[in-house]
Amino acid sequence: MALQILLNFIIAVVWMFLHNEWSFPRFTIGYVIGAAIMGLLSRIWPHDFYLKRAWAVIKLLILFTKELFVSSFVVMGLIIKPKLSIRPGIIALQTELKSDWEITVLSCLICLTPGTLTLDVSRDGRTLYIHAMDINDAELLSQQIKDSFEKAIMEVTR
Amino acid sequence: MNAKVTIEIVVGILIMSGTVMSLLSSLGIIRLPDVYNRAHASTKSATLGILCILLGAFLYFFYTHGVSSIRLLLGIVFVFLTAPVAGHLIIRSAHRSKVALADISVQDDLQDYLDSEKDVESSSTTS
């Protein structure tokens, strides 16, 4: 992955050498040409084409922002409701993610989803303990959301 | 309506909504029953409120003075990254120091896990 980005940079620099012109537009053109070449030759690499993964990262960021907005409005709605009708609780969630980095991103995402907050991660890293603000619908709903999060994170990392 | 008025309206909406969100989250800190639910209010709504205020300030200085203050954008990124982690650490240490929950529904999960872990530790030290 890092190797592919480095190679793309080198192609862009070679393009600037060929034109003997050191400017940002020339670099951009060279970078686009390099990306096109590497996209065509992507099957000789052991990993996927790296722009595919960059797109997955952008999708994850968009998801992050969307969830932040939704969760803030849900929490604010619960706060200004005249009668406090919440049933908080702690639920366990099994996760299939393995590396520390993936689990950190997942727990940050959970912290920003509606009515859930990561409380603890078990020592083997297989279970997340989540404090849910409203447990009635949270169990089903959060399961759904976390499935989509896990899938989005897996698209980035493997 | 020229561009400047539009920008001022957008900035006004951003800053007002950020302020209202911060107000609501502080109301939530007063109103919600226990530390865990208060952490919900303080991590989410306060984060979004600060984001809106900083974004409004950035747009204002960008259009009226022509200054693109990267520091404000960096501030947005840092708040975005650190607020959920801070909330997580606070409620984790609260749970470790045995702060009781309000009206509990499924509290058992984590407590069972901690108890079983303690049993393993004590049995391993005695044996």
Q: Summarize pLDDT for A18-64 with one digit per residue, the tens.
A: 888 788 888 888 889 888 888 888 777 777 777 778 888 888 888 88
Q: Closest-CA residue in chain A for B30?
A: A79
pLDDT over 70 percentage in chain B: 80
Positions in chain B whose pLDDT score sits under 50: 127
Partners of B81 on chain A (C-beta within 8 Å) are: 108
What per-residue confidence (pLDDT) applies to A76? 78
pLDDT, tens digit (0-9, with 9 covering 90-100), for A135-155: 776 567 667 766 777 788 877
Distant-in-sequence, close-in-space partners of B106: CB < 8 Å, separation ≥ 6:
A89, A90, A91, A135
What per-residue confidence (pLDDT) applies to A128? 80
What per-residue confidence (pLDDT) applies to A138? 59
What per-residue confidence (pLDDT) applies to A140? 72
The CA distance from A74 to A30, in Å, is 46
Q: Closest-CA residue in chain A for B29?
A: A79
Partners of B43 on chain A (C-beta within 8 Å) are: 111-112, 117
Partners of B101 on chain A (C-beta within 8 Å) are: 88-90
Q: Closest-CA residue in chain B for A66?
A: B48
What per-residue confidence (pLDDT) applies to B108? 59
pLDDT, tens digit (0-9, with 9 covering 90-100), for A105-130: 888 888 877 777 888 887 777 778 88
pLDDT over 90 percentage in chain A: 0
Q: Decide if A123 contacts A132 (C-beta within 8 A).
A: no
- The angle formed by the CA atoms of residues B2, B10 and A55, to the nearest 5 degrees, is 115
Print the domain residue range for B92. 3-126
Q: Which of B44, B93, B111, B117 to mutate to test the interface with A (most CBs of A within 10 A)?
A: B44
- Cβ contact (<8 Å) for A89 and B45? no
Measured N-to-C along each axis, helices B70-96 and B35-64 cross at an angle, to the nearest 10 degrees, of 180
Q: Does A83 touch chain B (CB under 8 A)?
A: no
pLDDT, tens digit (0-9, with 9 covering 90-100), for A60-107: 888 888 877 887 777 777 777 777 677 777 777 777 777 888 888 888
- Cβ contact (<8 Å) for A76 and B84? no
Q: Does A90 touch chain B (CB under 8 A)?
A: yes
Beta-strand ranges (E) seen in A25-108 are 89-94
What per-residue confidence (pLDDT) applies to A158? 67
ipTM value, please give it: 0.70
- Cβ contact (<8 Å) for B106 and A135? yes
* Tally of domains within chain B: 1
Partners of A135 on chain B (C-beta within 8 Å) are: 105-106
